[in-house]
Amino acid sequence: MNPVGIILFTIGLTAVAVPLYLVVERRGYLPGRVILKSLASIGFVGTALASGAIGTPFGLLILAGLLLSLTGDLFLISRARPLFMAGLVSFLLGHVSYSVAFIVRGQELMPILAGMALLIPVGIKVFYWLRSRAPEKMINAILAYIIVITTMAAFAIGAVAAGAPWLLMPGVLAFYCSDLAVARDRFVSAGFINRAWGLPLYYLGQTLIALSAGG
């Protein structure tokens, strides 16, 4: 199978697994959740590989971020706090890997500063939204995560301005918004509706980032 065919297959795998996951999530069937979420995340890793991720330092760093995200996906299947914290750390390291990838790809300073000017007020608002709702012992971890994802998004803007694939921007934006669904579910108002809109956004974002991995 040629690379385009493989990419279509891996995107299709994610596209099929995500709605099926939501069905079994709604029904509370744990084995189905583990299998389908694994397949959905394997799909975006496969998309990056088929796109040529292993051919450049940029692509390898994107691939590392995707693999860390896959690990975080599996941790977040459980609602247990230790596993949630492990998932949070996995995603935080994934965002760091993406940030380094964007720096390696090249940056334009003014777009980064403009992005920061837009993103920092959003990050502050999200932090105060969660501060009174999250357990006290998690506040520092949440703050660190907001700082890292805000920085990652700003570097994505700088990288695209410097010539990186434009798919990074909608990918990072979708990923950023999907994290709000996770935060809302864990700390504000738990419910299936959070997964119903957050997971499709998340997998869309990761797939777009994976497609950009080959440059």
Q: Is the dihedral of CA 101, 102, 104, 105 positive or negative?
A: positive
Report which of residues 138 and 157 the model is more confident about. Answer: 157
Choose among 48, 67, 70: nearest CA to 58.
48
140 close to 177: Cβ distance less than 8 angstroms:
no
DSSP 80: -
The three-class DSSP label of residue 102 is helix
For helices 168-183 and 81-105, what crossing angle results, to 10°?
160
What confidence tens digit (pLDDT) does each residue in 48-60 have? 999 999 989 999 9
Report which of residues 132 and 198 the model is more confident about. Answer: 198
Q: Provide the 10 A C-beta neighbour count for residue 40.
A: 25
Alpha helices in 28-138 (DSSP H): 30-50, 57-75, 81-105, 109-131
What pTM did the predictor assign?
A: 0.94
Helices then strands (H, E): number in the chain? Answer: 8, 0
DSSP 137: G
88 close to 121: Cβ distance less than 8 angstroms:
no
What confidence tens digit (pLDDT) does each residue in 35-51 have? 999 999 999 999 999 99
Mean pLDDT computed over 91-120: 96
Q: What is the pLDDT of residue 100?
A: 97
pLDDT at 1 over 90: no
